[in-house]
Amino acid sequence: MASERQRAVRLAAWYNAVPNVLWSVLGLAPVVVFAYQHMERPWLYGLSALSLLLYLVPAAGLERLRLSAQPAAYRRLGVHRLNRFAQNGELVNRRLRQHFPEFRQVQGRTSAVRRLRASYHLERFHLVLLLFFLLTSLYAAARGYLGWALLILLANVGYNLYPMWLQQYLRARLRAATRR
């Protein structure tokens, strides 16, 4: 028989799948459609390979890229609003607490450290895609597809830049909470 915590974790996985799939479809669709219809394959493979190199950026490198160490800077940009609709965000957690009132994503120092590590992975993922979307947008503009370039640029801000800032914001909040 599964413990209440295990059942909550399984339900969290299902609830988190909804925003994950939704945002991925919305964010990736313009790039996928453009690449399939208009991008020469050597360019696609080259830009993909170049972008994937950013997976090698260590956590210290990501820290140098952060916008601020203070959560207030991110709040001014509205990043906290994105957390409502994100994976492990406010709506998911509120829904989980309807079934499991004691459920918390972070329970103590060990889970906080685990959450910090996961945030670097997620930020790295969006950094890779940020570069790929940017290069694809430049490719589209250079080929005269200005509408596509603008659409991909907008998708890049919503699907990659803000989620990177969200990870930085969440890390700043976690660090502040663990100092208390």
Q: What is the pLDDT of residues 30-69, one digit of tens each?
A: 999 999 999 999 999 999 999 999 999 999 999 999 988 8
**Does pLDDT of 152 surpass 90?**
yes
User: What value does the CA radius of gyration of the chain take, rounded to a whole number of Å?
Assistant: 18
- Rounded CA-CA distance 33/140 in Å is 12
116 close to 123: Cβ distance less than 8 angstroms: no
Question: Burial code of 79-95, b = ≥16 C-beta within 10 A, e = fewer?
Answer: bbebbeebbbbeebbee
Q: Using 50, 70 and 90 to split pLDDT, how confident is the model at 113?
A: confident
**Higher per-residue confidence, 17 vs 6:** 17
Annotate 63-102 with DSSP letters as a single string.
HHH-S-SSHHHHHHTTHHHHTTSSTTSHHHHHHHHHH-TT
What percentage of the chain reaches a pLDDT higher than 70?
A: 96
Range with the poorest average pLDDT among 53-57, 84-88, 104-108, 129-133: 104-108
Residue with tokens 């997620």: 122
